Amino acid sequence: MSNANNGAASQSSKAIGPGSFAENLIFTNRSVILSLFLLVTVFFAYNASQIKPDASFERLIPLEHPFIVNMLENRDDLENLGNFIRIAVSVKEGDIFNKAYMQTLSEITDEVFYLSGVDRSALKSLWTPNVRWVEVTEDGFQGGPVIPDGYDGSQASLDQLRQNVLKSGQVGSLVADNFKSTVIYAPLFEINPETGKPLDYKAFSLELEKQVRDKYHEKNPSIQVHIIGFAKKVGDLIEGIGAIATFALVTICLTMTFLVIYSRCIIATVVPVITSIVAVFWQLGILKLLGYGIDPYSVLVPFLVFAIGISHGVQIVNQISEQQASGLNALASSRMAFRNLVRPGILALVSDAFGFLTLLIIQIDVIKDLAVAAGVGVAVIIVTNLILHPVMMSFTGLSKGGMKHAKKVENSEHKHWRVLSFMSHPSVAPISILIAILGCTIGLYYQKDLKIGDLDKGAPELRPDSRYNLDNDFIISNYSTSADILVVMVKTAPEECATYELMDVMDRMQWKLQNVEGVQSTASLVTVSKLVTKALNEGSYKWFELSRNESIINSSIQRAPSGLVNTDCSMTPMIVYLNDHEAETLERVVDVVKSLIDEYPSENYTFLLGAGNAGVEAATNQVIEKAKDVMLISVYAVVSFLCLVTFRSFAAVICIVTPLALTSVLCEALMAQLGIGVKVATLPVIALGVGIGVDYGIYIYSQLENKLRHGYPLQEAYFETLRSTGKAVSFTGVTLALGVFTWIFSPIKFQADMGILLFFMFLWNMIGSMWLLPALARFLVRPKKVSTVEAK
């Protein structure tokens, strides 16, 4: 067998001329190569199946940013601030003071009480004994549970309940301003003290849906349940990732359909898909062995790898069919395909890989992971596509149907390519360039609105119309509460977190912050102290002030919520509630906080930015903003350098890179218009788009240069290029776009954003390379020069 193959190889090498050392090595040991691939693929596939989902919060944030460093250092003391869920139970008609509603509320409260992970002692609802009404009387305080003693659902007891609710001070926090809903507030344990296990967000979120929402919607159709909180959001995100499997399947089907239409050949359809899936297995296997997991961002990479694999596979199929059509046998055709494509193939893939690796400069783990994952994926494709693919095809060749179709195409008049070749015509080219300049200007104009950070309200990870965000809207609009919180941490020596000096400074800072546009309100121990001092003075507003008497301060904060002071009173947060988390708001508030910190210096305390979701986003935005331009410059520098090295011509660099730059500008304009900010999810897309988009240009230019060398005039050369490569390039654009297309439908907003942008960039880069590249070539490339170089 191997002899026969060798014989065939030498025969074909005679027909097609001698190959390189690598080519000979590969094509004279095809069986060995195939067996090796099989073994390695099995090994990697096994590892790939062991890869763990990794959605940890820390990977999403810039760990080296000072805000985040401060936050993580104080994490234990801040914990009580964040992890809770709020379940609002609303009535569809009337108000909450009716027997059926209160009955259901009581049942749901019990249900939540028994959910694993809930801090039962801190659970709050109208039905829990810790929610009380208090009244100042001549003899001091008088109070009791909000649900009146002997409550029986009668009108009298409901009236009493209404009175108690008004006296409880819970309107706005536990009871909606319009009395149409109430909240069950359930703090959660990060680590369940009973089992010692960390909270299983997915399971918890599912329990909430099943045991609370579904169950009680069914039991009492006149109520509606709204659930928000970190645990619910994470649960929804994990659930959203489940859609990926479907997306993968749909993507493979779509791709195969297009391959069949393109090649009319079962072999040309199955082989690229197999090699691409092999590449995905390798990539995931290698990542697993390198110790990486897969997160909601890097889960995009296998799709890209698959799409890139297909697009390069199509080039090979295309070459082979061309060679086979010219009379060569399968092996010789494969060798020729290898020989012709190894240089542009490696160049394209290496520039992809380097494009991705520029992402490493961003100090956010999940982006670095994405860079590594994509880099590995592309490196793998070099091996699978340039070796495995032609070797497999060398056994099979194209099917007869495929060849017939290829011949038919080959012999057709290529009317559309003929038309397209006019793009390089001396009178069309200037128009194209003018249009490009116009497009670029328009793009730059709209791109001005491009914003940094997340722009949507609520949980930006999820779609604005997702159930979570609708629930969030409901709760925000009916309760005095904000979802966007910036926490300034204040550190002191133990037992000194409530001195008059510090409290006074916090009081002043809070007021100045409240005067900043975008700040809704603020809260801290000072707020508690003032409220309690007022309450202790018979509820008179004339006492709503911070006392400079330490013993009054101390007694006023004795029962402060645990999140507002740590156990040894050495850390206390100053909480700033914001209107939104737009980058401008965050930047404005953070700047003011910084200047306030400078304004009130003391050796007795340190103010540290910044925790809370707004602190994390502010830090992330700063890192992203700084990285954005550096990254763009780097990725273009890398791509240009690689083109320069390969083609040894500045003209080539300009021809290839200009369409990319146009796409980048238009992409940013698109982002600005669609309200997609530059953020953790979309920044990598810009690099990926350029890194992958350069492939088209490289293939077209290398073929064009090739044809020019053979002495064709430019338009003819371009026609020849389009005839051979153009189809493959357009197909590549479509397959790549298809690879990410399904993402547009992801329930996770940032995945959808990534999908939209990549879809746009892949298509536009293709259009740019086929339309603008030849126009530029008309002015920049001297056919004679190329052919004389060849002649020498």
Q: Does 549 bind another protein (CB under 8 A)?
A: yes
Q: Does 477 bind another protein (CB under 8 A)?
A: no
Q: Specify the residue, 140 or 193, whose C-beta has the smaller distance to another protein.
A: 140
Residue 755 to residue 188: CA distance in whole angstroms: 34
Q: Does 596 bind another protein (CB under 8 A)?
A: yes
In one-letter notation, the amino acid at residue 181 is S
Alpha carbon 107 to its chain's center = 39
The minimum distance between CB 85 and another protein, in angstroms, equals: 27
Question: CA 67, 70, 74, 79: dihedral to nearest 10 degrees?
Answer: 10
Q: Does 376 bind another protein (CB under 8 A)?
A: no
Q: Angle of helix 330-357 relative to helix 389-396, nearest 10 degrees?
A: 160
Q: Is 40 left (phi over 0), alpha (psi -120 to 50) or beta?
A: alpha
Q: Specify the residue, 16 or 516, whose C-beta has the smaller distance to another protein.
A: 516
The minimum distance between CB 140 and another protein, in angstroms, equals: 11
Q: Does 552 bind another protein (CB under 8 A)?
A: yes
Q: Specify the residue, 97 or 422, whose C-beta has the smaller distance to another protein.
A: 97
The minimum distance between CB 602 and another protein, in angstroms, equals: 9
The minimum distance between CB 545 and another protein, in angstroms, equals: 4
Q: Does 598 bind another protein (CB under 8 A)?
A: yes
Q: Does 415 bind another protein (CB under 8 A)?
A: no
> Is 709:790 a contact under the CB 8 Å cutoff?
yes
Interacting residues with another protein between 336 and 355 (CB under 8 A): none
Q: Specify the residue, 20 or 540, whose C-beta has the smaller distance to another protein.
A: 540
Q: Which of 40, 69, 136, 206 binds another protein (CB under 8 A)?
A: 136
The minimum distance between CB 87 and another protein, in angstroms, equals: 24
> Is 112:128 a contact under the CB 8 Å cutoff?
no
The minimum distance between CB 592 and another protein, in angstroms, equals: 6
Q: Does 523 bind another protein (CB under 8 A)?
A: no
DSSP category for residue 458: S
Q: Is 275 left (phi over 0), alpha (psi -120 to 50) or beta?
A: alpha
> Is 610:70 a contact under the CB 8 Å cutoff?
yes
Residue 486 to residue 640: CA distance in whole angstroms: 42
Q: Specify the residue, 116 or 606, whose C-beta has the smaller distance to another protein.
A: 606
Among 208, 210, 254, which Cα is nearest to 233's?
A: 208
DSSP category for residue 387: I
Which range in 58-66, 320-328, 464-472, 586-594 contacts another protein by CB under 8 A? 586-594
Residue 340 to residue 330: CA distance in whole angstroms: 15
Which range in 91-99, 232-240, 462-470, 585-593 contacts another protein by CB under 8 A? 585-593
Q: Does 517 bind another protein (CB under 8 A)?
A: yes
Q: Where are the beta strands (DSSP E) in 411-531?
A: 484-492, 519-523
The minimum distance between CB 181 and another protein, in angstroms, equals: 17
Q: Which of 193, 515, 559, 629 binds another protein (CB under 8 A)?
A: 515
The minimum distance between CB 537 and another protein, in angstroms, equals: 8
Q: Does 591 bind another protein (CB under 8 A)?
A: yes
Name the residue with tokens 């619910």. Answer: 232
Q: Specify the residue, 5 or 520, whose C-beta has the smaller distance to another protein.
A: 520
> Is 444:437 a contact under the CB 8 Å cutoff?
no
Which range in 38-46, 257-265, 390-398, 592-600 contacts another protein by CB under 8 A? 592-600
Residue 338 to residue 345: CA distance in whole angstroms: 9
Q: Which of 600, 711, 727, 771 binds another protein (CB under 8 A)?
A: 600
Interacting residues with another protein between 40 and 99 (CB under 8 A): none
Q: Specify the residue, 415 or 542, whose C-beta has the smaller distance to another protein.
A: 542
The minimum distance between CB 171 and another protein, in angstroms, equals: 7
> Is 231:118 a contact under the CB 8 Å cutoff?
no
Residues contacting 520, CB < 8 A, separation 6+:
482, 577, 578, 579
Q: Which of 540, 567, 604, 673 binds another protein (CB under 8 A)?
A: 540
Which range in 276-284, 387-395, 591-599, 683-691 contacts another protein by CB under 8 A? 591-599
> Is 59:369 a contact under the CB 8 Å cutoff?
yes
Residue 184 to residue 109: CA distance in whole angstroms: 7
Q: How many CB atoms lie within 10 A of CB 138?
A: 6
Q: Specify the residue, 326 or 480, whose C-beta has the smaller distance to another protein.
A: 480
The minimum distance between CB 167 and another protein, in angstroms, equals: 8
Q: Does 516 bind another protein (CB under 8 A)?
A: yes
Q: Does 595 bind another protein (CB under 8 A)?
A: yes
Name the residue with tokens 């039991």. Answer: 219
Q: Which of 16, 51, 63, 166 binds another protein (CB under 8 A)?
A: 166
- Cβ-based burial of 360 (10 A; exposed 0-12, middle 13-18, buried ≥19): middle
Q: Does 195 bind another protein (CB under 8 A)?
A: no
Q: Cis omega before residue 169 (within 30°)?
A: no
The minimum distance between CB 164 and another protein, in angstroms, equals: 13
Tell me the DSSP string of 511-531.
HHHHTSTTEEEEESHHHHHHH
Residue 514 to residue 512: CA distance in whole angstroms: 5
Which range in 101-109, 301-309, 359-367, 597-605 contacts another protein by CB under 8 A? 597-605
Q: Does 138 bind another protein (CB under 8 A)?
A: yes
Q: Does 520 bind another protein (CB under 8 A)?
A: no
At 174 the three-state DSSP class reads coil
Angstrom CA distances, 283 to 308, 329, 376, 443, 751, stand at 13, 33, 6, 36, 20
Q: Which of 601, 648, 785, 788 binds another protein (CB under 8 A)?
A: 601
The minimum distance between CB 701 and another protein, in angstroms, equals: 49
Dihedral (CA of 136, 138, 139, 143) sign = negative
Q: Does 603 bind another protein (CB under 8 A)?
A: no
Name the residue with tokens 């776009």. Answer: 737
Which range in 40-48, 61-69, 130-138, 569-577 contacts another protein by CB under 8 A? 130-138
Residues within the interface to another protein (CB under 8 A):
135-138, 166, 171, 504-505, 508, 511-512, 514-517, 537-545, 547-549, 552, 588, 591-592, 595-596, 598-601
